[in-house]
């Protein structure tokens, strides 16, 4: 049978190549693993044998690669909003000044900022006291003489502006801010998103490796926790890739987390079962002897 990384027989041994227990492939790099993690038993045997710290690096690189399409998609969407939709809203924003905790504006009040498509009021500016609450309006924001009220689902958050000494904003200023957000927003967000997902996936891998200790009994493999942990970090690749694809195409499945968990567990079983033969298990749990000393 032709394996993804070389010709192997039904037990995972290289045809015409290395002996049992030896590597049936050249040592894979991190970038090879991005592809071969989807179906190479040879890769997972190599990961179990030799990848310890490298599995942590692989996880970081894999997540970085998977974040790139999402960042690009977000950039395109944000750029479209700033160029096509935002100007219709920004044009309605009057000059607003806060001095010594008091808000003032050059617009007639109450000033209503509306959704250009529906005409629905989305924000109100009123420093006269005519409007003091969002309770009887569909607006999502209200700026009063000394407070900013933001409606979030079933609750309203109030920000006290009385401590603001000096601040001013108008439509052209917001245009400049939005332009900078388009350029720098994705760049600044990327490392934070990557770091957050990396910490999450590391914790997840430790949990999956505990599950892997149970899976190895079913698969008939003799693997230690460090080897299973390394395999778990690689085995989540298809699940992460699937989640990335779903996000790009905008598919939101109910109980999607269960699908991703099932995919990750399936590949973890595949990885562990790759080391289930006696020859492969022995080679995985201990390094090969430097020489055969039994025959003298």
Mean pLDDT of residues grouped by 10 in the chain (296 residues)? 38 37 64 94 93 94 95 92 91 93 92 91 92 88 94 88 93 92 92 97 97 90 92 97 92 91 96 75 47 43
Alpha carbons 86 and 178: distance in angstroms, whole number: 9
Residue 17, both tokens: 């190549």
- Looking at residue 3, what is its pLDDT? 42
Question: How confident is the model at residue 285, as a pLDDT?
Answer: 47
178 within 8 A of 86, measured Cβ to Cβ = yes
pLDDT at 12: 37
Q: How many CA atoms lie within 13 A of 165 on its CB side?
A: 0
- Rg of the chain over all Cα atoms, to the nearest angstrom: 29
CA distances from 53 to 6, 56, 91 (A): 25, 5, 54
Question: What per-residue confidence (pLDDT) applies to 25?
Answer: 52
Tally Cβ neighbours within 10 Å of residue 227: 28
In total, the chain counts a number of residues equal to: 296
124-151 in b/e form (b: 16+ CB < 10 A) is bbbbeeebeebeeeebbbbbbbbebbeb
């Amino acid at each position: 049978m032709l394996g993804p990384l070389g010709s192997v027989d039904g037990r995972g041994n290289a045809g015409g190549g290395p002996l049992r227990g030896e590597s049936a492939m050249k040592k894979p790099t991190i970038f090879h693993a991005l592809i071969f993690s989807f179906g190479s038993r040879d890769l997972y045997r190599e990961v179990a044998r030799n990848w310890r710290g490298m599995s942590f690096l692989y996880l970081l690189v894999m997540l970085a690669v998977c974040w790139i399409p999402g960042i690009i998609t977000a950039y395109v969407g944000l750029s479209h909003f700033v160029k096509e939709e935002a100007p219709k809203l920004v044009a309605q924003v009057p000059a607003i000044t806060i001095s010594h905790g008091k808000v003032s504006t050059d617009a007639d009040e109450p000033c209503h900022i509306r959704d250009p498509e529906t005409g629905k009021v989305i924000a109100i500016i009123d420093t006269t006291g005519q409007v003091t609450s969002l309770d009887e309006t569909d607006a999502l924001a209200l700026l009063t003489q000394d407070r900013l009220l933001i409606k979030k689902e079933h609750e309203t958050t109030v920000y006290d502006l009385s401590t603001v000494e000096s601040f001013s904003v108008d439509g052209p200023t917001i245009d400049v801010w939005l332009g900078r957000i388009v350029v720098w927003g994705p760049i600044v967000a990327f490392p934070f998103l990557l770091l957050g997902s990396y910490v999450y996936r590391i914790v997840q891998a430790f949990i999956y490796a505990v599950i892997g200790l149970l899976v190895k009994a079913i698969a008939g493999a003799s693997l230690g926790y460090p080897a299973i942990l390394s395999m778990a970090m690689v085995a989540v690749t298809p699940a992460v890739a699937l989640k990335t694809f779903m996000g790009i195409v905008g598919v939101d499945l109910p109980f999607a987390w269960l699908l991703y968990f099932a995919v990750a567990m399936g590949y973890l079983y595949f990885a562990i079962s790759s080391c289930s033969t006696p020859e492969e298990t022995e080679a995985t749990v201990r390094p090969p002897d430097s020489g055969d000393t039994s025959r003298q």
